[in-house]
Chains A and B, each alone.
Chain A
Amino acid sequence: GENVEQHPSTLSVQEGDSAVIKCTYSDSASNYFPWYKQELGKRPQLIIDIRSNVGEKKDQRIAVTLNKTAKHFSLHITETQPEDSAVYFCAAGGKLIFGQGTTLQVKP
């Protein structure tokens, strides 16, 4: 069945550093790849998404890259801030299968 693998499961960075989270997917028909941020006890919120007709998308400090040939996509956060600390999920596939999540901790 469809599968999405996400790495790393935890990531700790110093404030101001960059953070990169990677996902691979199995369904070659996937054409929509969103990223969600979930703070403790709250709902997942969309932070950026990309469709398969583009290779990269950027929104201020957040960027996503997509390699359809290799079936992987990545989230890049630059100049991290303490408020970026949360769990981040990638998703792909016809019914949006989510990765296992990455807990990002940004140390002041």
Chain B
Amino acid sequence: NAGVMQNPRHLVRRRGQEARLRCSPMKGHSHVYWYRQLPEEGLKFMVYLQKENIIDESGMPKERFSAEFPKEGPSILRIQQVVRGDSAAYFCASSGRQGVLSPLHFGNGTRLTVT
């Protein structure tokens, strides 16, 4: 049973480019969460999605960031016109039918570096 799959593991972008981060949840999981982690800091909630629905995006910056979880395919976190401050590790997590009352399983993260 494959775990949460994130790709790419490492992503380098120049300022102004777009970054697309992908997350495939564990089999049978329909809830996806995205977190951002700066070096030596905690996990900051960004967005919570179910299939075709954004449930809570209160942690997402108002501009340049968007997320989706289509009916088919992985969840995508998209960052437009990246800036150096976007450099961080972005973790995706998924959970089963009970949503947040069941454990979150994390992927290995995507480490974004903006040059």
Chain A residues packing against B (C-beta within 8 Å): 1, 6, 31-32, 34, 36, 42-46, 49, 51, 89, 94-101
Contact = CB atoms under 8 A, between A and B. Distances in A.
Contact of B103 (A1, A49, A99, A101): A49
A82 to B, nearest CB: 21
B91 interface: yes
A44 to B, nearest CB: 5
Contacts of A96: 33, 45, 100, 104
Given A89-B42, A95-B45, A97-B45, A46 B104 contact: yes
Contact of B42 (A32, A34, A43, A98): A98
Q: Size range of the interface on B?
A: 20 to 34
Interface of B: 33, 35, 41-45, 48, 56, 58-59, 91, 100-101, 103-109
Contacts of B101: 31-32, 51
A15 to B, nearest CB: 24
29 contacts: A1-B58, A32-B101, A34-B103, A36-B106, A43-B106, A43-B108, A43-B109, A44-B43, A44-B106, A46-B103, A46-B104, A46-B105, A49-B103, A89-B43, A94-B56, A94-B100, A95-B45, A95-B48, A95-B59, A95-B100, A96-B100, A96-B104, A97-B45, A98-B35, A98-B42, A98-B45, A99-B42, A101-B41, A101-B42
